[in-house]
Amino acid sequence: MFRSLGSVVLLLGAAQGALAQAPHVSAPITDVSYEITADSSAVTRRQLGVVMSFRVTGTAPVVLALPAWSPGHYTLLWFARRVSEFSAQSASAPLEWRKLDYQTWQITPRSAGMVRVSFKYLADAVDRAVAWTAPNFAFFNGTNVFLYPVGRGFTWPARVSIHTQPSWLVATGMDPASGVNNFTASNYHDLTDMPFYVGRFAIDSAQVAGKWIRLAFYPAASLTTARRDRTFAWLQKIVPAHVAVFGDASFRNYTIFQRSDTLVNGGGLEHQSSQVDEVLTSQLDASYLPGLYSHEFFHAWNVKRLRPADMVPYRYDDAQPTTWLWVSEGVTDYYGALALVRGGINDSTGFFNFIAGEIASVAGAPPTAVSDASLSPWINPTDGSSGLYYPKGGLTGFLLDIMIRDASDNRSSLDAVMRTLYNRTYKRGRGFTRTDWWAEVSRAAGGRSFTDFARRYVDGREPLPVEATLRLAGLRARNDTIREPRLGVSPATDTNGVAITQLAPTGAAAAAGARVGDRIVSIGDVAISNDDSFDVFRTRYAGTTLTTLPLVVRRGTETITLQLPVRLFARTQTQVSPIPNAPAKALRIRQGILKGSTS
Ligand SMILES: [Zn+2]
């Protein structure tokens, strides 16, 4: 069923311009420009003021729509629901308008000339795909506010002007135009793929791999010198590893937009020349950050440029499912982790732990074809397979990499597949198809057929051949039972440290006399400074024979040392590790993957 759904979707995708939108085709418009007002008074009301201006040649109705989703965030959000005070005018006189559906407006000009459409946009969503404001700041995506003429394609140019306080900053990936805070884009796809920060945020830049990379952080205080230096040092290791896979970088410059808050839904959203990251305040120094930056950065190639044909071009009015999200997201996860080890941020153990995590995630989900899982973010399934295209796609990419290197005696790799597809599809203005993908995988593997692999493990639900394939790279996966200590608390981290917000009545911390509100200073010899510290504590004392540990807490102005009874709990953990004395060929394959090299 899902396979045939996939082909129906392909047909709809190809025909949507001609069929689905035929009932409402706009009169042509030219000289399109937008003005966004994000000044102090607008953001205090949590609104953006939006004006769209364009020229018409007659009185035929103009049909304008707002997108239903932001590419990369595969969920229908219906941005029109945040619109209020819609109006249209020409030569300062109001024009007739009506809604054709919930996200489409029809405006009737009285004569040839300029038309001006305006509305207010509610900007209070804690969501990377939407818009958010604070008293000194606004963030928005082009998909939220830029109306487009229905049925007229997306290849027309546009100009954007931002009206804001004179002392506030504006950051966007759009090309600057003459004047203050004016920008241009040559087509609607680029226009809506360049998010904006407006207000009082911190910005800094450095050259990485020959390109200018900017950090735009809000609030401004979150970009400390130490974080700036550390982030650029990570990027100096990550970005060259990504460039080495594809052979070039097509973006002119790149921006990391990062907002931190105690309420954000942590994670990132990719764009062609930027990423929008949301980081919990407690996670600003967390160990997962380089992995987040690496994953989102790899998307600048994989999905923003090298993209499944099902999503070329993007449509904005409705869902655009593809069975290939396992490549767009899962393989991005794989290369996100690979760049960390290839660049030297992680050692090989860190990479093996990443693979072990993917294996455990797949094992913990119901048997699901990864191509079916790829279709499902639009419906957010409840059967436990939600998001499975990430770990199962990453693991499938890893196994394919090993098989290609094994078949070619490490003369080729998945890197070569990605690079060739990038050159032969994206650079020729199209998306990749099923035929493109498997033909390149097969070519890289010296002509070996992957028909059976695709049928059983990608489009089918058979368990991936993990053990047999890992062995080809001199690796094995084991399930170990580890006994690790548990505290029995729910912690919350803020700028003052880690506080206990809940205590399990029968837990070890409660038995030691800890109370809700205590701030944990240290456990044994592990200092507790953020959420990551608990992982360090569990690893440090796994299997310990100690019966008590000192638990140091701050209670009000006092610092108290409690005696924590050690209570160990068994947990099954997947581990990936090198096989001792593996054959030379397997070692070449493993080293090739870790270093990004071929023989
Ligand atoms: Zn992603």
**Could you tell me if 86 and 97 are in contact, meaning their C-beta atoms sit under 8 angstroms apart?**
yes
How far apart are alpha carbons 440 and 561 in whole angstroms?
A: 62
Which pLDDT belongs to residue 384? 94
Which pLDDT belongs to residue 40? 98
Distance (angstroms) between ligand 1 centre and the Cα of 303 equals 9
How far apart are alpha carbons 389 and 391 in whole angstroms?
A: 6
How far apart are alpha carbons 350 and 353 in whole angstroms?
A: 5
How far apart are alpha carbons 68 and 320 in whole angstroms?
A: 11
Distance (angstroms) between ligand 1 centre and the Cα of 278 equals 14
Distance (angstroms) between ligand 1 centre and the Cα of 457 equals 22
Distance (angstroms) between ligand 1 centre and the Cα of 322 equals 15
Which pLDDT belongs to residue 15? 44
Distance (angstroms) between ligand 1 centre and the Cα of 273 equals 14
Neighbours of ion ligand 1 (CB under 5 A): 329
How far apart are alpha carbons 55 and 116 in whole angstroms?
A: 9
Distance (angstroms) between ligand 1 centre and the Cα of 172 equals 20
Which pLDDT belongs to residue 263? 87
Q: Whole-angstrom distance between the N-terminal and C-terminal Cα of the chain?
A: 43
Pairing outcome for strands 196-199 and 169-172: antiparallel
Distance (angstroms) between ligand 1 centre and the Cα of 331 equals 9
Distance (angstroms) between ligand 1 centre and the Cα of 415 equals 18
Distance (angstroms) between ligand 1 centre and the Cα of 189 equals 19
How far apart are alpha carbons 502 and 282 in whole angstroms?
A: 17
Q: What type of residue is 295?
A: H
Distance (angstroms) between ligand 1 centre and the Cα of 298 equals 8
Distance (angstroms) between ligand 1 centre and the Cα of 110 equals 46
Distance (angstroms) between ligand 1 centre and the Cα of 269 equals 7
Distance (angstroms) between ligand 1 centre and the Cα of 332 equals 6
Distance (angstroms) between ligand 1 centre and the Cα of 419 equals 19
DSSP output for 344-388: TSS-HHHHHHHHHHHHHHHHTSPP--HHHHHHGGGT--SSS-TTT
Distance (angstroms) between ligand 1 centre and the Cα of 330 equals 8
Distance (angstroms) between ligand 1 centre and the Cα of 572 equals 28
Distance (angstroms) between ligand 1 centre and the Cα of 390 equals 8
211: which strand partners? 208
Which pLDDT belongs to residue 482? 86
Q: How is residue 566 written in tokens? A: 């050690």
Distance (angstroms) between ligand 1 centre and the Cα of 70 equals 13
**Could you tell me if 159 and 184 are in contact, meaning their C-beta atoms sit under 8 angstroms apart?**
yes
Whether cis (ω within 30° of 0) applies to the bond prior to 580 is no
**Three-state SS at 19:** coil
DSSP 28: P
- Taking the alpha carbons of 503, 506, 507, 510 in that order, is the dihedral positive or negative? positive
How far apart are alpha carbons 271 and 114 in whole angstroms?
A: 32
Distance (angstroms) between ligand 1 centre and the Cα of 506 equals 40
Other beta carbons less than 10 A from residue 489's beta carbon = 21
Distance (angstroms) between ligand 1 centre and the Cα of 299 equals 7
Distance (angstroms) between ligand 1 centre and the Cα of 291 equals 11
b or e along 142-181 (b: 16 or more beta carbons within 10 Å of the residue's beta carbon)?
bbbbbbbbbbbebebebbbbbebeeebbbbbbbeeeeeeb
Distance (angstroms) between ligand 1 centre and the Cα of 267 equals 9
Q: Give, to the nearest 10 degrees, the angle between helix 332-342 and helix 289-298.
A: 120
Phi first, then psi: what are they for 583, rounded to 5°? -60, 155
Q: How is residue 457 written in tokens? A: 């493990």
Per-residue pLDDT tens listing for the chain (599 residues): 333 333 333 444 444 444 444 568 999 999 999 999 999 999 999 999 999 999 999 999 999 999 999 999 999 999 999 999 999 999 999 999 999 999 999 999 999 999 999 999 999 999 999 999 999 999 999 999 999 999 999 999 999 999 999 999 999 999 999 999 999 999 999 999 999 999 999 999 999 999 999 999 999 999 999 999 999 999 999 999 999 999 999 999 999 999 999 888 889 999 999 999 999 998 899 899 999 999 999 999 999 999 999 999 999 999 999 999 999 999 999 999 999 999 999 999 999 999 999 999 999 999 999 999 999 999 999 999 999 999 999 999 999 999 999 999 999 999 999 999 999 999 999 999 999 999 999 999 999 999 999 999 999 999 999 999 999 999 999 988 889 999 999 988 877 789 999 999 999 999 999 999 999 999 999 999 888 889 899 999 999 999 999 999 999 999 999 999 999 998 888 999 999 999 999 999 999 999 999 99
Distance (angstroms) between ligand 1 centre and the Cα of 265 equals 15
Residue 119 to residues 25, 105, 139, 479, Cα–Cα distance (Å)? 22, 12, 17, 57
Distance (angstroms) between ligand 1 centre and the Cα of 297 equals 9
Distance (angstroms) between ligand 1 centre and the Cα of 270 equals 7
Q: What is the pTM of this model?
A: 0.89
Distance (angstroms) between ligand 1 centre and the Cα of 392 equals 14
